[in-house]
Amino acid sequence: MSIVPSIQVTFFLLLTGATILGCSQSSEVISSKLNACLIITEADVELAIGTPVATGVPQTDRQCLYQAKRNPQETVTVELDPSPDANKKTHFHDQQSKTDRQPVPGIGDGAFTLRSPTPIGSIQLTFLKDDALVTLSLSSSKQANAQAAVTNLAKVAATRLTAPRPSMAFASAAAAPGSEPTGSSSRWAGDWYGCVPVGMMNGKAHLALGERADWTLITAVVMPGTVVADRGRWQAESYQEILHGTYQMAGSDRFMTTGILNVTWNKLPKDQRPNKFDPLLWQSFGAVPRKMAVKRLTPVEPSLVGTWEGSAKFVERQEEFVWTITSANVSEFFKATSQSGRIEPDQDHFKLIAAQGKTPPLLLRVLAQDKMELTDNSGTVSQWSRNEKLLARC
């Protein structure tokens, strides 16, 4: 079974290139690849400006913006100086010596603030920590003491930059295939969840990391749209894709499609979940209502109405499909792509290497006990959590 390249969706598993934070020597703590969205958390920002905030959004590879949910004008911006490490200290001291700067003691290797006249309540604090030069910009008209708020936020950020380094949990397991996993390898093993871009869509993803340095990644998308199916020919259209081909019934509970989709479809009983589609990803799709306006189209052949599932196997991946077809020409096409392989340590990150094929390895960086990043060579970024509630954001 095969699907031609025109509908193959390549997902990009991110990167702003954040490094694992912390180590025994402070000069090794900070990297030029540090992620601005990981220096402080949403909870830190909420405490600073006194109102709930949305997830930090990368503005560039060195800048992250946090906005209040009720008033987007209430913001905190984190910005990393892109200068080479050797120039950061010189740049910091040049800026600190200017007359409109106010020194702030007790933060990193030095800090100063710069108050902005507009908008009201805006203030900047820049601090130096080892080879990182960080500027926090706070804008909040409701914050009575912006100086204290940004100072406390900077202290948290500077402390987080020197947090103890997570152990390279998978290193020993990867180095000795077949050996018993070490006690620390289970620290990062288990299920992780993330939202990843899949072409023009947002995909829901489930990554399982094994204690024996193995992994399985499932990425799923849904393409709602319309369908026309009559007299042996079909076409499903959504804003992402147009799929088409021929079909042939094989009894009341099975049919085959050819052309773009060479798949055998089996009908699911009413209210039964798919047999092979990742259960948690499937459940997360059900929680999101999808509405569509359907124009007047040729009726769908009645024998095709229902929910169907099918599979396709490739050298590098396995794909599972669920297709819901209604007599009112509504089509919902679900696709889950599964890959697996081994984990290998590589400096300050791990490589997820596919079991077969020539797919470039994914890079994994553990950032905290419940936070990590995956990256591919495109440089696109995505953050992952152990909490499946993250899937609701996709």
Contacts 24+ apart (CB under 8 A), 203-206: 203/11, 203/394, 204/281, 204/284, 204/285, 204/391, 204/394, 205/11, 205/13, 205/281, 205/384, 206/278, 206/280, 206/281
Query: Are residues 246 and 312 located together in one domain of the fold?
Result: yes
Q: Is the Cβ–Cβ distance between 33 and 19 less than 8 Å?
A: yes
Task: Tell me which DSSP letter residue 62 carries.
Answer: T
Query: Are residues 208 and 133 located together in one domain of the fold?
Result: no
Q: One digit per residue, pLDDT tens: the chain, 394 residues?
A: 333 332 232 222 222 233 222 222 233 333 445 678 878 888 788 878 888 888 888 887 789 999 988 888 889 999 998 777 667 888 888 888 887 888 999 898 899 998 765 555 689 999 998 888 999 999 887 777 888 889 989 988 887 776 443 333 444 434 434 333 333 345 678 899 999 887 767 899 999 998 788 899 999 999 999 999 999 999 999 877 888 999 999 999 999 998 888 999 999 998 899 999 999 999 888 755 555 556 678 889 999 999 999 999 887 789 999 999 999 899 999 999 999 998 888 777 888 988 876 778 899 888 887 888 988 766 677 889 998 888 888 8
Query: Are residues 174 and 137 located together in one domain of the fold?
Result: no
Query: Are residues 180 and 153 located together in one domain of the fold?
Result: no
Task: Tell me which DSSP letter residue 289 carries.
Answer: -
Task: Tell whether 140 is covered by a domain.
Answer: yes
Phi, psi of 38 (to 5 degrees): -115, 0
Query: Are residues 100 and 216 located together in one domain of the fold?
Result: no
What's the first-to-final CA gap in the chain, in angstroms?
29
Task: Provide the residue range defining the domain that includes 186.
Answer: 169-344+383-393
Which residues partner with 47 through β-bridges?
none
Total Cβ atoms within 10 A of residue 167: 15
Query: Are residues 98 and 176 located together in one domain of the fold?
Result: no
CA atoms of 292 and 226, how far apart (whole Å) = 9
- Burial bucket for residue 229 (CB in 10 Å: 0-12, 13-18, 19+): buried
Q: Which CA distances in Å does 94 have to 62, 88, 90, 112?
A: 21, 10, 6, 12
Tokens 């920002």 identify what position?
45
CA atoms of 207 and 195, how far apart (whole Å) = 11
Query: Are residues 176 and 236 located together in one domain of the fold?
Result: yes
Q: In terms of residues, how long is the chain? A: 394
Query: Are residues 136 and 190 located together in one domain of the fold?
Result: no
Query: Are residues 324 and 204 located together in one domain of the fold?
Result: yes
Query: Are residues 211 and 328 located together in one domain of the fold?
Result: yes
Q: Is the Cβ–Cβ distance between 24 and 165 less than 8 Å?
A: yes
Query: Are residues 125 and 255 located together in one domain of the fold?
Result: no
Q: Is the Cβ–Cβ distance between 63 and 79 less than 8 Å?
A: yes
Task: Tell whether 190 is covered by a domain.
Answer: yes
Q: Is the Cβ–Cβ distance between 207 and 273 less than 8 Å?
A: no
**Amino acid in the structure at residue 104:** V
Task: Tell whether 315 is covered by a domain.
Answer: yes
Look at residues 110, 127, 160 and tell me which one is the last residue of a structural domain.
Answer: 160
Q: Is the Cβ–Cβ distance between 80 and 92 less than 8 Å?
A: no
Q: Which CA distances in Å does 33 have to 36, 49, 80?
A: 9, 28, 10
Pick from 4, 307, 323, 373: which is nearest to 166 by CA? 373
Look at residues 139, 160, 181 and tell me which one is the last residue of a structural domain.
Answer: 160
Task: Tell whether 187 is covered by a domain.
Answer: yes
Task: Tell whether 18 is covered by a domain.
Answer: no
Task: Tell whether 371 is covered by a domain.
Answer: no
CA atoms of 120 and 195, how far apart (whole Å) = 36
Task: Tell whether 124 is covered by a domain.
Answer: yes
Task: Tell me which DSSP letter residue 117 carries.
Answer: S
Longest dimension (CA), the chain: 84
Tokens of 182: 């070490």
Query: Are residues 93 and 228 located together in one domain of the fold?
Result: no
Q: Residue 64 sits in a domain of what CATH number?
A: 3.40.1000
| Tally of domains within the chain | 2
Task: Tell whether 376 is covered by a domain.
Answer: no
Look at residues 129, 160, 191 and tell me which one is the last residue of a structural domain.
Answer: 160
